[in-house]
Amino acid sequence: MVRYYTIMAGFHTKTFLKHDDYMTPKYAWENIKQFIPKDKTIWEAFYGNGASGRYLTEMGFNTIHEDIDFFEENRGDIIISNPPFSKSKEVMNRLHELDKPFILIMPQPKINTSYFRTWKDKGLQIIIPRKRIQFVKTVNGEVPKDYKSDCNFECYYYCYKMNLPKDIIWLE
Ligand SMILES: C[S@@+](CC[C@H](N)C(=O)[O-])C[C@H]1O[C@@H](n2cnc3c(N)ncnc32)[C@H](O)[C@@H]1O
């Protein structure tokens, strides 16, 4: 009960750790649009400021993007998101339970973690961006005035059951 209350308080009061509040720029989804099927419903499962789901919708994908708890809900056919990196282990464990296709943007070193190792026989595939993704920081849902992104780490798109033509795709 206490744990539940803590999570829900985070949702409605926007008290998530600041370092998780980095939003995906639209180009990061446009980069991989050719790998996303148009006939499936996407669940952009981590809300942030809501822009990410809007971008996917604008790109023509049927997208569910709501301010709900990923660990309590299960929507859509394919999960496409940039999750809170501070909860990577919990997210990856929950994805084992859901066992549905996903594309997740996460830092490149995550693949060396023990919780990623639990995916080693499950056919994960990776898309490698051409350039570092510059996320958009938000504070209380707003982009700070004069903010300039300066992300200093690389991310991959980690894919599961997406039937990519190759296990490693290097974007041009
Ligand atoms: C890295 S941000 C990315 C937001 C959005 N998916 C995007 O790509 O722009 C991760 C967001 O996950 C949200 N979050 C944290 N815990 C969550 C949970 N248990 N369920 C759903 N969303 C959560 C927070 O709002 C946080 O801003």
In this prediction, residue 108 has a pLDDT band, given cuts at 50, 70 and 90, of: very high
pLDDT score recorded for residue 130: 97
Mean pLDDT of 54-71: 98
Atom of ligand 1 nearest to the CA of 65: 6
Question: What would the two tokens of residue 120 be?
Answer: 């080693």
Ligand 1: atom nearest CA of 136 is 9
For the chain, state the CA radius of gyration: 15
Q: Is the pLDDT of residue 103 over 80?
A: yes
pLDDT given for residue 7 in this prediction: 36
- With bands split at pLDDT 50, 70 and 90, how would you rate the model's confidence at 153? very high
pLDDT for the residue 33: 98
CB of 84 closer than 6 A to ligand 1? yes
Which 8-state DSSP code applies to residue 143?
A: P
Task: Report, as an integer, the average pLDDT of 98-123.
Answer: 97
Contact between 137 and 24 (Cβ < 8 Å): no
CB-based contacts of 87, cutoff 8 Å, min separation 6: 20
Q: Is residue 8 over pLDDT 70?
A: no
Rounded to the nearest angstrom, the distance between the alpha carbon of 70 and the centre of ligand 1 is 9
Q: Which fold has domain 2-170?
A: Rossmann fold (3.40.50)
